[in-house]
Structure 1
C-alpha cells in the first residue's frame, strides 16, 4: 500500500475509533467519513462495509488483549492472571459501545469479518482459564465459551446506564463464582 494511502487508512481508523467510543458501533459510515474530512467513497474504498471497518478497528485491540493474555499466562499467579485479563476485556468491551453484540454474533459466524479475531481472543482467555483450573483456582465446569459469554454479559451490564453503577460489584460477584478456594477473587 502506498504511504499516502496507508496514512489515509490510519487516519480513518483513528477517527472511527474516537467516534465508536463516543457514539457506539452503529454510527453511520457517512458520519465517519465526514468527521475524517473525506468523502464517503474514500472511506468505502478502504472499508467497503461497516463490518470491515469494525474488524480493522477492533483487530488491533483484540491482538493487544491476546498478547496481554500471553504475558499474564507467563506469570506464576493463575488466579490473578485470569481475573486481570477478564477485567481488562470487560473494560475494553464496555469502552466500545455495542461491540459486545458484534462479538457475541461473530464468534459463531465463520463468515463474519470479526470471527477469526474473536476466536483467537476466546482461545487466549480459555488458556488462562485452563491454567487456573489446573491450579485448582477456578471451577472445572467452565470452558472458553462460558468465559467469553461472561465477559460479554459483564460488558453489556457496564454498557447499560441503569446498571453501570453496579458493574464493579457484579464483576466481583461473577469472579467469586468462577474462582475456587479461599477468598473467591
Structure 2
C-alpha cells in the first residue's frame, strides 16, 4: 500500500515540477518581449517567444496585469540570484557589478511599464516596490562591497542611491529614440572605477 501511494503521488509531483518549469520559461520569454517591445506587447508575440499557445498564457495569467506582475517578480528573483553567481565567476567585482546592472536595467524597463498596468497608489504596487527593495538593495550592496574590498571603487557608494540613480537615468527611455539610457548607465558604472597610481 505504501508503494502504491508513493507511486500515485509521484506523477502529480512531477507534473507540478513540469508546470513550474513551463511557467518560468513563459515568464522569461515574456520578460524578453517586454524589454524589447514594452508591457503592451501583443500576447501572441509572448506566446510565439515562449513556444506556447495563447491559451496557455491566459490559463496561467488571466489578465495582462497578472502577467506583468508575475514577470516583475520573476525578474526581481533573477536579479537577486544573479548577483552572487556573477561574483563567484572569478572576474573583477566591478565587472560583475556592470553585468548585474545590465540585468537591473532590463528589469527597470518592465518596472516602469508596471505603472501603466497597476495604479501606483494601490496597495499592490506598494507591496511590489517594498519586495523589490528588500530583495535587490542587499544584492547591489554585496556587489559594491566586493568591488570596494578589491580597491576598484570607493567604499562610500550607497546601494540604494546607486539603484535610484540608475532608475532615474532609465526614466523616459521609450519616449525619446535619441536617448540611450543603457549607454548613460554604462558611463555611470565605468565612472565608479578608481584610477590606480602606478
TM-score normalised by length of structure 1: 0.62
Per the TM alignment, residue 79 of structure 1 is displaced from its structure 2 partner at its CA by 2.0
Alignment counterpart, residue 128 of structure 2, candidates 87, 92, 113: 113
Alignment check: 8 A CA contact 1:110 1:116 kept: no
Local SS of the residue matching 1:112: helix
Local SS of the residue matching 2:151: coil
Aligned to 1:123: 138
Q: How many residues align?
A: 168
Q: Distance in 2 between matches of 1:13 and 1:78?
A: 29
Alignment of 1:77-88 (within 5 A): 77-88=92-103
Per the TM alignment, residue 81 of structure 1 is displaced from its structure 2 partner at its CA by 1.8
Alignment counterpart, residue 61 of structure 1, candidates 46, 54, 75: 75
Alignment check: 8 A CA contact 1:122 1:144 kept: yes
Per the TM alignment, residue 93 of structure 1 is displaced from its structure 2 partner at its CA by 3.3
Distance 1:163 1:76, change over 3 A: closer
Deviations 1:104-151 (A, max 9, x none): x79xx8842353244312221111012212333223332110121133
Unaligned runs of 5+ in 1: none
Distance 1:133 1:57, change over 3 A: same
Unaligned runs of 5+ in 2: 1-11, 48-52
Structure number, greater radius of gyration: 2
TM-score normalised by length of structure 2: 0.59
